[in-house]
Structure 1
């Protein structure tokens, strides 16, 4: 029995309660100093797993994990390089697959890009590299056609499922994505990612223009629970997703202050939903930016319950609601909010 077969057997016996998961081994070298510490992050369903690895002699490493379906792997180090990066600094990004023994070789010059490595026996990673090349074509129209051909030719692949997931997150051509998902084979329709896509489609339908925005409740800066439906009674209200650490969000705040001060007396209000984790920084930003409207947060960052339920993964993001709670505009920037409120309320 090979060493890898033995590991699989032991894993199957000791993980009987997680039969859907399969073991993988990732081992190899990273061309850097011995004893350097790296973080290997991958996802299992909605959960993220991070293995902290100290490189051995010659930059060698080895990790064992369990995943249900192909997963993106992020290899990172402590961030000492880019003050604009929140969290660790990602050096490599690739794909691992369940039931595989992958050999990984990371090269020097990782500033050249996240793909500066080799990984064995990963069809998903190979397809991701093919997909990336399509964006480097000189002719934009040819690039678009090539992307469409790629999706159609690999509609039976997990990587294309990931591509469609990304399009959903970015609100790109939802009817086309819906059609492509319906034509995917059964083995993909049974995956967690596919079910996530269907759920996201439902949510997107529920937060489209003309839909009633879902009600929610979170704690304010005094730890009192605030419900959207109580705040928005007989008002036009902007639901604004932001964070103290988000530069573009902070840049938008003067425009919100202007709109609020001009139209508050005419029935306009704002509720800010913060994706902060640090309570003190959240409250300080509210004070510094003179945001004298309603504020709530569960201080869980991008795991904020409201943002997560709506698949909001980038900020700033906002929704303008009428007094009945219907969405009349989304992602309003700059002076557009003041102009739009002028048309509605003047």
Structure 2
């Protein structure tokens, strides 16, 4: 078991009212903006005399990203109601020192364990990028890289088992919930203590494990409930046709928006033959969603629950990136997934025949 003693435990007991993030950033000019972002926080301040300060309060320890204006690399930290210190050089933000809280100390310990693996992976990544690398050598390097990935996974799983009461364990498990096997995720979740399960990350994990079905091609579709633009709830089963394309997208997804015109053409060609499209948006801003529907002239059914990546339908279907889609036949069987552009056109011609009701214009 890992035992961590916070260097600021006495100070933490005395504060008890919130956090103070004291940052030192060498060679950064005054008035440079610093931002802190997480799902419940959107704060900013300025650098003055190579230092900056954030003050606030969190309900529970929260993984947070800090961004320095004009620098691409964010600074990750655990925000706790204690004094937190950050020391960074602008050209080495990946080596920033963050200290101050018990949870941060535990996260630092895990990072130290992973450092050797990450360094080796970076070196192999650089080697794989060499243009003169032979195919045989590339295969060998890729095999070594995959072995290191498995070593890192094993290290993180061991950390979770050793620290079942830590928010860091719940966070790591939630972050990897779609990368690791579902049975492994569920098993590790069952080993977490209530203190970890009750964190925001534990609650997200619990919801994911209960909802996620990951239906595959050949499986029956899974019904779900979402809201239409008018605010009324509807089931997928109430919107289905002879063939139903469940299209996962969002207003902020550039590839999704670019594919909408072609999708509209296909819908016009096959809607009279029984094609239905149900657009499931991963938006979280209602107005952005409605504006995108209008701007792209989407005539099919559109639904959402405005929960972003935690969209219930996306969790059920195991959607981890968009655009993504599922084609369901008249028997309720999933016959294809993630059909894009030519592949979707070919599949729809196959299922509806070569004589569509509308002849597509040619350039």
TM-score, normalisation: structure 2: 0.69
2:46 pairs with 1:41: no
Distance 1:132 1:6 in 2: 34
Which structure's CA Rg is the greater one? 2
C-alpha contact (below 8 Å) 2:227/2:234 kept by paired residues: yes
Q: Please name the residue that 1:302 is paired with.
A: 308
2:59 pairs with 1:76: no
Label 1:191 to 1:62 Cα distance change in 2 as closer, same or farther (>3 A).
closer
Deviations 1:274-306 (A, max 9, x none): 43643685146414xxx44334567x5838966
Distance 1:302 1:203 in 2: 16
The 5 Å alignment of 1:207-286 reads: 209-219=219-229, 223=230, 225=232, 227-229=234-236, 232-253=239-260, 255-257=262-264, 259-274=266-281, 275=283, 277-278=287-288, 282-283=292-293, 285-286=295-296
Q: Please name the residue that 1:315 is paired with.
A: 322
1:332 to 339, 342, 347: 339
2:202 pairs with 1:194: yes
Structure 1 runs of 4+ aligned residues shifted over 6 Å read none
Q: Which runs of 5+ in 2 are unaligned?
A: 1-9, 125-143, 354-363
Q: Please name the residue that 1:30 is paired with.
A: 25
Q: Please name the residue that 2:94 is paired with.
A: 115
TM-score, normalisation: structure 1: 0.72
Q: Deviation at 1:77?
A: 5.3
C-alpha contact (below 8 Å) 2:329/2:335 kept by paired residues: yes
2:107 to 124, 133, 157: 124
Q: Please name the residue that 1:56 is paired with.
A: 48
Aligned residue pairs, count: 308
Q: Deviation at 1:238?
A: 1.7
Q: Which runs of 5+ in 1 are unaligned?
A: 12-22, 82-88
Q: Deviation at 1:150?
A: 0.2
Distance 1:96 1:224 in 2: 37
Label 1:76 to 1:28 Cα distance change in 2 as closer, same or farther (>3 A).
closer
Helix, strand or coil for the counterpart of 2:74? strand
Distance 1:224 1:5 in 2: 47
C-alpha contact (below 8 Å) 1:243/1:249 kept by paired residues: yes
Helix, strand or coil for the counterpart of 2:341? coil
2:168 to 159, 162, 166: 159
Helix, strand or coil for the counterpart of 1:205? coil
C-alpha contact (below 8 Å) 2:240/2:276 kept by paired residues: no
Deviations 1:298-326 (A, max 9, x none): 7x583896668768664223333344666
